[in-house]
Structure 1
Amino acid sequence: MAVIGTVREWNEDEGWGVLDSPQTPGGCWAHFSHAAVAGYAAFTAGQAVLLEWEEPGQDGWPYRAVRFWPHGEQPVDRYADTAGGTGGAYHSTLTLTFDEPDPDRRS
């Protein structure tokens, strides 16, 4: 069940922040990959959010967000059908191919 929280701080360059709520005293670590928003996840200090969390925490924080999104909005499944391109989150692939070794070339 989601609780109402507030963004204490958000590190946009690193994609993580700390959320506060009465149910998560001491702070709740949050990573952009758990933000239930479409596209780029950006938050600002003081912003109200809805938060689902777990223990143990992360990086010295007693709690960790498993899903969070702006208060007043509906959560979005960022990873729904990412293979089909409808999830809203960035998706890419990488394919590596190697040439056959040249028998005439010395290493």
Structure 2
Amino acid sequence: MNAANTDAANADLDYQCRNIPTVQKSYIYYSIHGNIVAFFCALGAASQCNAAERSDILRQITGLCGSYIPGWYTYSNSRWRHGYDSGRCFCDQCG
């Protein structure tokens, strides 16, 4: 994945997460730069999109998947998902 677009998409989503109170169930917040999308999905319940928490999760994704390789993390109770990818299908929206 393009490093500059990945970093920009994640930075924009972090900005959104600092400025929204709660993401309602089934809502998605995302940012697209080039062909990269960074996303937060409220899957099972209304959830907080927290920029500091996102930073920790993105480090975990990078540790598991590698630098600038698509990845996501779904919280253990399936309430929310953070991630980034190089396509337009995310948060179970395509399929």
TM-score band by shorter chain is: under 0.3
Structure 2 length-normalised TM: 0.27
Q: Which has the higher helix share?
A: 2
Structure 1 length-normalised TM: 0.25
